[in-house]
Structure 1
């Protein structure tokens, strides 16, 4: 099972490298652009920590110690992480609604967000289905990686990319909320620290990949689409809260 997880993550990272190494123009005129390795350092380090944590006794001890330290200070559980995971990327639309414009228009940022969500969601669910990591509360064997944390950090990177030229503080606030989401996943005894680390890395890298591939996606899929309409709505399946996205073009 762990070999399958490694293969999925390896292909995930290779795709991200390809996305930054080639532009849509390079596909037609074979022109390479400069590869920025530093963009991969943080997310791949977080992912590597999480993967190593599946086997390393030292990192497993850190997981256990972190759980015990948090449990000592728990009075009541809070499900704020079910909602905070979405706050960063929803903030992008809220800010645009009140007139604070980001990098992209509605069409382009929605394509980026949908792409990032698809990449992140597919990666997380594939790993969860092929893995066998028991949750701290013992309820299921799909602990690795943290999907809530991946969603939160995907949104934080999205907020950062859209508003870093307006004010760096938008991005910082998004990452603080994302870190809080990861903390509450541990606080609520749903994830180990290594699950949260890997989820954060996957979330960040998914958004970076979405921006790198956006010119190609826009050119090939949305080439003749002048407008894009969409709606984001809350959903509830009786056990979990979430958001659904519908787009027409």
Structure 2
């Protein structure tokens, strides 16, 4: 029963992010237009990842959360006959899906070069944050193998990729993002199933991954302007749908 609750929690985290994006939609009788500027900071984008990270940090000292960690670990161990190392590969699936879809002629928001800049920025932010926490917190793994359990790097990578996939292909179909988050949630679950991480490790990793990608999009205009000499002030991208046609309009203010 506890395992089912955890799976529901991870899925709810995923759909909360999707739901936040849906709130940005504006519908009319014939046209559906989304506020599609991914570079604009919105405070509500921070709420979910900050909450997940906060729960994990509190769990470093909270006896109640540590008890929940142990109870979940013990429940999983009772029903495990063998490990499934799918999480070693699934952590990368959402980010690779962005490039795979493009190779299949499903165009995302950015070109190959621009999306690579964003992904590299997100991966750097995520890696620095995760490793800083690992070195300072020094939490022992559930299997006792080392003291770098907090937070889960696999989960952070998976959720970073899922948010990247969602942002790049939201205009094509919201379900692409849903699929990415489902894979990310599964990665977090298998980190616990394989006795490599505590629940609070996974929650914090998910928050770090989501926030890293969001921050990468916020930083993208500054990075490209500073290092790649892209000189523009604002980019406005909006899809349009009607009975006669559909497409995406782009306006660049220099």
TM-score range, shorter chain: 0.7 to 0.9
Aligned-residue offset at 1:159: 0.2
Partner of 1:46: 52
Larger radius of gyration: 2
Aligned-residue offset at 1:34: 7.7
Partner of 1:153: 159
Q: CA RMSD in A?
A: 1.5
TM-score (norm 1): 0.75
Partner of 1:221: 227
Match of 1:105 among 106, 111, 116: 111
Query: Runs of 5+ in structure 1 lacking a partner?
Result: 1-32, 225-249
Query: Runs of 5+ in structure 2 lacking a partner?
Result: 1-38, 231-254
Contact 2:41 2:218 in 1 (8 A): no
Q: Deviations over 1:24-55 (max 9, x none)?
A: xxxxxxxxx98521101110000001001111
Partner of 2:201: 195
Aligned-residue offset at 1:70: 1.1
Correspondence list, 1:1-249, <5 A: 36-223=42-229
In structure 2, what is the Cα distance between the partners aligned to 1:70 and 1:44? Answer: 27
TM-score (norm 2): 0.74
Q: 1:81 to 1:109 in 2, by over 3 A?
A: same
Q: 1:158 to 1:137 in 2, by over 3 A?
A: same
In structure 1, what is the Cα distance between the partners aligned to 2:132 and 2:166? Answer: 27
